[in-house]
């Protein structure tokens, strides 16, 4: 009986040929994620792309799943994938797109472009006063994976002194001044003009940034969040923005998506809000990188070679490689 491979990542003919050259012994099924019904998913030995969690839960045939997302927390929950199942993610695909989105948010807030856009709608010719600069600022990047690292490099290139926070100690790259661990976050927050969050969802990161943290931040600082909405306490963030404790915030993720019409975030001051669009397939290069990671891992799986982006089920993160 042929092994079955299910692919939900959008592919062009050249990518399908590469897959079929590797998997001549298999039946390859190409479908969109919304067509990934449990009966189809449960037959697959290999899945390339995300499928509904309930569809894959407890699959006895699944040996390896390659996600098209960097986040893996839904699939690492107990009982979803059987012990021994290999899980890899798409870390490395999203850094370019999301880091540029973050940079756009910073410049928008620093140069008050959001205020001028509102004035334009109201036909109002008004000077909104002083602005700030990336040059000479201090930036703290909390979460130094692919996305955080790419953002840090861009901020460094534009003249910011950039520091990082990550779980594990590591060598300090040229674009960072220093790397800290999460346990000293409260002691250093007051130093930074910009604090950028690119964290996955874990027990440790839920509501990590709340009123207490905002109170420790530098008055007028900018907060960015592109990781998971659960990292930021929504009501406390609104209070910090509306009271002027924070100078602004840029969010591409929120705790409840889609954001309910009654959420106070819609009316918060100095907030740039986008509907979780910094990643995905909005930038073509992102999709190309996902395809490349998936096909290279497929070849490694067949050759029993080391695979990229193995996920640690205990932490929900990609396994740390020194």
- Known catalytic residues? 228, 257, 276
Gap between the Cα atoms of 177 and 200, Å rounded: 23
User: Which is nearest to 196 in space by CA: 139, 279, 149, 238?
Assistant: 139
3-state secondary structure of 209: strand
User: Which is nearest to 298 in space by CA: 126, 45, 48?
Assistant: 48
Compute the C-alpha angle 150/151/154, nearest 5°. 90
User: Which is nearest to 140 in space by CA: 79, 101, 181, 112?
Assistant: 181
Gap between the Cα atoms of 135 and 133, Å rounded: 5
How many residues does the structure list for the chain? 322
* DSSP secondary structure string for all residues of 139-208: EEEE--SHHHHHHHHHHHHTT-EEEEE-SS--PPPTT-S-EE-GGGHHHHGGG-SEEEE-PPP-TTTTT-
Gap between the Cα atoms of 237 and 214, Å rounded: 8
* DSSP secondary structure string for all residues of 215-275: HHSPTTEEEEE-S-GGGB-HHHHHHHHHTTSEEEEEES--SSSSPPTT-GGGG-TTEEE--
Rg of the chain (C-alpha set): 21
Residues 102/151, Cβ–Cβ less than 8 Å:
yes
């Amino acid at each position: 009986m042929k092994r079955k491979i299910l692919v939900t990542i959008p592919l062009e003919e050249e990518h399908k040929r590469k897959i079929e050259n590797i998997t001549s012994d298999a039946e390859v099924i190409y479908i969109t994620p919304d067509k990934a019904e449990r009966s189809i998913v449960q037959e697959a030995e290999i899945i390339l792309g995300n499928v509904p969690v309930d569809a894959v839960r407890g699959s006895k045939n699944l040996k390896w799943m390659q996600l098209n997302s960097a986040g893996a927390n839904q699939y690492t929950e107990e009982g979803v994938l059987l012990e021994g199942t290999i899980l890899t993610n798409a870390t490395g695909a999203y850094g370019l797109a999301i880091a540029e989105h973050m940079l756009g948010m910073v410049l928008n807030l620093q140069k008050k472009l959001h205020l001028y856009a509102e004035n334009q709608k109201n036909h109002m010719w008004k000077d909104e006063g002083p602005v700030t600069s990336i040059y000479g600022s201090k930036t703290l990047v909390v979460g130094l994976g692919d996305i955080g690292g790419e953002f840090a490099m861009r901020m460094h290139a534009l003249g910011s002194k950039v520091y990082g926070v990550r779980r594990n100690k590591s060598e300090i790259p040229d674009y960072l001044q220093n790397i800290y661990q999460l346990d000293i976050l409260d002691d250093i927050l007051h130093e930074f003009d910009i604090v950028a969050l690119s964290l996955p969802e874990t027990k440790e990161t839920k509501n990590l940034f709340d009123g207490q943290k905002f109170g420790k931040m530098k008055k007028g600082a900018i907060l960015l969040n592109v990781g998971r909405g659960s990292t930021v306490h929504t009501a406390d963030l609104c209070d910090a923005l509306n009271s002027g404790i924070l100078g602004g915030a840029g969010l591409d993720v929120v705790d409840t998506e889609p954001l309910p019409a009654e959420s106070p975030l819609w009316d918060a001051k100095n907030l740039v809000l986008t509907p979780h669009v910094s990643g995905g397939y909005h930038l073509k290069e992102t999709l190309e990188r996902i395809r490349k990671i998936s096909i290279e891992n497929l070849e490694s799986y067949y050759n029993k070679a080391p695979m990229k982006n193995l996920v640690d089920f205990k932490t929900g993160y990609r396994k740390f490689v020194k």
